[in-house]
Amino acid sequence: MTTPRLTTVPTNTGQTRTGSVVEFTGVTKRYGTHLALTDFDLTLAAGELVALLGPSGSGKTTALRVLAGLESTDAGRILINGDDVSGVATSRRDMGMVFQSYSLFPHLSAGENVEFGLRMRRVPAVERRERAAAALALVGLDAHYDRFAHQLSGGQQQRVALARALVTQPRVLLLDEPLSALDAKVRVGLREQIRRIQTELGITTLFVTHDQDEALAVADRVAVMRDGRLEQVGTPEELYTRPATAFIADFVGLSNRLAGVVRHGFAEVHGITLPLLDPSQADGPVQVFVRPEDLTLAAAGLPGDSLAGTVLLSSFLGSLRRTSVLLEQGGTVVVQHDVRERPEPGERVVVRFSGAPVPVEPDGADTTGARPTPS
Residues that bind Mg ion (CB under 5 A): 61
Q: How far is the CB of 145 from ligand ADP (least distance, A)?
A: 33
Q: Do 186 and 180 touch, CB atoms closer than 8 A? A: no
Q: Which residue number, 16 or 56, has a Cβ lying nearer to Mg ion?
A: 56
- Of the pair 60, 337, the CB lying nearest ligand ADP is at 60
Contact stretch for ligand ADP (CB under 6 A) within 30-38, 106-114, 279-287, 333-341: 30-38
Closest contact distance (angstroms) between CB of 345 and ligand ADP is 38
- Residue 205 or 256: which CB sits closer to ligand ADP? 205
Of 12, 31, 127, 275, which lies in the binding site for ligand ADP, with binding defined by CB under 6 A? 31
Give the SS3 label for residue 354: coil
Q: Locate all alpha helices (DSSP H) within the chain, ordered by sequence.
A: 60-68, 90-93, 110-120, 125-138, 154-166, 184-201, 212-218, 236-241, 246-251
DSSP, collapsed to helix, strand or coil, labels residue 62 as helix
CA distance linking residue 200 with residue 291, whole number of Å: 35
Note whether 209 binds ligand ADP by CB under 6 A.
no
CA nearest neighbour of 117 among 97, 144, 142: 97
The distance of closest approach from Cβ of residue 62 to Mg ion in the complex, given in angstroms and rounded to an integer, is: 8
Biggest alpha carbon distance in the chain?
Answer: 77
Q: Which does 36 bind (CB under 5 to 8 A by kind): ligand ADP, Mg ion, none?
A: ligand ADP
The pattern of x and - marking residues 48 through 87 that bind ligand ADP according to CB under 6 A reads ------x-xxxxxxx-------------------------
Measured from the CB atom, the residue of 33 and 280 that comes closer to ligand ADP is: 33
DSSP state of 132: H
Contact partner at residue 58 from Mg ion, ligand ADP, none, CB < 5 to 8 Å by partner kind: ligand ADP
The answer to whether residues 326 and 332 touch, using CB atoms and an 8 Å cutoff, is yes
Residue number with CB closer to ligand ADP (329 or 375): 375
User: Please, what is the minimum distance in Å from the beta carbon of residue 165 to Mg ion?
Assistant: 17
Q: For every residue of 258-327, which 3-state class applies, written as one string? A: EEEEEECCEEEECCEEEEECCCCCCCEEEEEEECHHHEEEECCCCCCCEEEEEEEEEEECCCCEEEEEEE
Residues that bind ligand ADP (CB under 6 A): 31, 34, 36, 54, 56-62
